[in-house]
């Protein structure tokens, strides 16, 4: 492309300080350096993680910053050493990576790359410790190595999944974070067998993706657990068959579920980040074979407590990160599941706004409305 090797001026939504509306600014985006690609973002969606770090409560504030990490786009140019991507490729930038060389990447069991594992405090590129974004010479920090709230962004090649160019980017963009995290937690980690029962704790976007994984796996009962009763009706679209609101009971919800299921569910997936929900998710699975999978991210001072006999009675407790998917190796195949109608994504996308109205996406999420709002970068 004619812009290769040159600085690109484009629009980006900049977070100047915590909790304040994003500001659409003209930014300069430097060319990609070694092992980097510059991507033209066509669609990006808002994830709760963006809101969490925009609000900047409970973690290190880093501003000014360009947020965003669920997106789809097209490679504009590549830096030195990039051989498996070329201009014109359709890609999903992903908040974690796969260098393909470290012990984790070489292991069939792990997706937690040593080099490119999620780092929420890093605001520069790994190659030289510098930002590729600037305004009038002043650096603007990156976010999760992706910064997709910009018409162009620079990403490490290990954080870019090349996908089928026929896949609609306005739909599959949601696979670059939340949907893959929840769906993979069920199909790759909990692994329910056909006919088994599954409890899903938290019916937000990630929890509903976990429910979708249970539905696709052929679960006979999918029990949704949430404190917000308004989420129950929507959850039926994702295969949830029964609902439990812990506030409706005067006993721990794990006991309620054990009574409902004759001893406990076969599998559970926790998607809230609440320590109490994590404990309940573990203690509600059946002894002898039950498997509980933790997805939600707790506060840094939280501690998990359960009686060791719950483990001795042959319950299994697991954790997962990004659904145990390796971004470059596995995500293209998840996109194909959507293309083959084995996985539904459209029902996750409840709103769409032009880039100029990106703050409306934040308002919708803060109000608890909808699941995913896709932001159209060309509008």
Active-site residue list: 47-49, 69-70, 99, 102, 105, 113, 117, 177, 372
Q: Each residue of 205-219: b (16+ CB within 10 Å) or e?
A: bbbbbbbbbbbbbeb
The angle subtended at Cα 282 by Cα 276 and Cα 287, nearest 5°, is 145
Contact yes or no for 166/250 (Cβ under 8 A): no
How far apart (Å, rounded) are the C-alpha atoms in residues 193 and 187?
10
> What SS3 string covers 136-198?
CCEEEECCCCCCCCECEEEEEHHHEEECCCCCCHHHHHHHHCHHHHHHHHHHHHHCCCCCCEE
Helices within the chain (DSSP H only): 48-55, 103-106, 169-172, 178-184, 205-216, 231-235, 253-261, 275-283, 309-312, 327-339, 358-366
> How far is Cα 123 from Cα 210, in angstroms, rounded to an integer?
31
**What's the token pair of residue 252?**
């721990």
3-state secondary structure of 67: coil
Contact (Cβ atoms closer than 8 angstroms) between residue 360 and residue 20: no
Q: Within a 13 Å sphere around the CA of 99, how many CA atoms are in the beta-carbon half? A: 13
Tokens 């896949």 found at? 167
Q: CA end-to-end span of the chain, whole Å? A: 22
């Amino acid at each position: 492309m004619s812009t290769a090797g040159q600085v690109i001026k484009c629009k980006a939504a900049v977070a100047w300080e915590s909790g304040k509306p994003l500001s659409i600014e003209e930014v300069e985006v430097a060319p990609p350096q070694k092992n980097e690609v510059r991507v033209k973002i066509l669609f990006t969606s808002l994830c709760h993680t963006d809101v969490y770090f925009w609000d900047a409560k409970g973690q290190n504030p880093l501003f000014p910053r360009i947020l965003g990490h669920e997106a789809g786009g097209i490679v504009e140019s590549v830096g030195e050493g990039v051989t498996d991507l070329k201009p014109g490729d359709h890609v999903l930038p992903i908040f974690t990576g796969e260098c393909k060389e470290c012990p984790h990447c070489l292991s069939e069991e792990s997706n937690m790359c040593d080099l490119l594992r999620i780092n929420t405090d890093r605001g520069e590129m790994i190659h030289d410790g510098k930002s590729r974004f600037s305004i009038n010479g002043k650096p603007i920090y990156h976010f999760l190595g992706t910064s997709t709230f910009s018409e162009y962004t620079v990403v490490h090649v290990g954080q870019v999944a090349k996908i089928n160019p026929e896949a609609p980017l306005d739909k599959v963009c949601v696979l670059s974070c939340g949907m893959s995290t929840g769906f993979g937690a069920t199909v790759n980690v909990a692994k329910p067998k056909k006919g088994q029962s599954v409890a899903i704790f938290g019916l937000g976007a990630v929890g509903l993706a976990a429910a979708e994984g249970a539905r696709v796996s052929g679960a006979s009962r999918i029990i949704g657990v949430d404190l917000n009763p308004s989420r129950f009706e929507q959850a039926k679209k994702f295969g949830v068959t029964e609902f439990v609101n812990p506030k409706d009971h005067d006993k721990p919800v794990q006991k309620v579920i054990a009574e409902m299921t004759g001893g406990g569910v076969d599998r559970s997936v926790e998607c809230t980040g609440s320590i109490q929900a994590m404990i309940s998710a573990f203690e509600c699975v059946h002894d002898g074979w039950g498997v509980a999978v933790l997805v939600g991210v707790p506060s840094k001072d939280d501690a998990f407590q359960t009686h060791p006999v719950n483990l001795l009675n042959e319950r299994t407790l697991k954790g997962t990160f990004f659904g145990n998917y390796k971004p470059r190796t596995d995500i293209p195949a998840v996109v194909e599941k959507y293309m083959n109608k084995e996985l539904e994504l459209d029902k996750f996308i409840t709103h769409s706004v032009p880039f100029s109205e990106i703050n409306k996406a934040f308002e919708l999420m803060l109000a608890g409305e909808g699941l995913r709002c896709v932001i159209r970068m060309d509008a």
